[in-house]
Amino acid sequence: MKRRPVLLTAAGVALLPPARATPEAMASAIRSFTGGAPLREGKVQLDVAPLVDNGNTVPVTLSVPGAPPAEVAALALFNERNPLSDVLRVDFGPRAAARSVSTRIRLATSQQLVAVARLADGSCWSQRVEVVVTLAACIE
């Protein structure tokens, strides 16, 4: 057995992408939510602690402060480095009051979270937040 092919194979295995989402996968997940509408910064607010002690349960709040409730059709949350880019999608009905939803999520590692709001007029707004995770959610 020659050493060089063996080493090359080992290097190739090491370079294989890990089983997690990528920024490109997140971008395509966001596109599937926005329907291709351009994403602008602002309007939507994502509240999450910048330093997360435990990635297994991270409280987050998505909201659109300021906008009249009827204007906001849906909210969604995406992540960059969990196995899947999607976290949560919320559609609001006629009986919803404030356009705000809170939940608890898992974070596999330190990464960027993106909150996206789709308004009734079809425009989409986002906010990006970087979070540092000290104890990752167990994905193994």
Partner 1 sequence: MARTLITAPSSARRGEAITLRVLLQHPMESGFRVGADGRLLARDIVRRFSCSYNGERVVAVELFPAVAANPYLEFSALALDSGTLDFVWEGDHGFQHREQRTISVT
In the complex, the residues that contact partner 1 under the rule CB under 8 A are 19, 56-58, 61, 79, 82-84, 86-98, 100-107, 137-140
Q: Closest distance between partner 1 and the C-beta of residue 54, in Å?
A: 10
In terms of CB distance, is 67 or 96 closer to partner 1?
96
Q: How far apart are CA 109 and CA 37, in angstroms?
A: 29
In terms of CB distance, is 76 or 126 closer to partner 1?
76
Q: DSSP assignment of 15-54, as one string?
A: HSPPSS--HHHHHHHHHHHHTTPPEEE-S-EEEE-SEEEE
Q: Closest distance between partner 1 and the C-beta of residue 39, in Å?
A: 19
Distances (CA, A) of 24 to 10, 79, 108: 26, 11, 17
Q: Closest distance between partner 1 and the C-beta of residue 9, in Å?
A: 23
Q: How many alpha carbons lie under 13 Å from residue 125 in its C-beta half-sphere?
A: 19
In terms of CB distance, is 39 or 137 closer to partner 1?
137
In terms of CB distance, is 8 or 139 closer to partner 1?
139
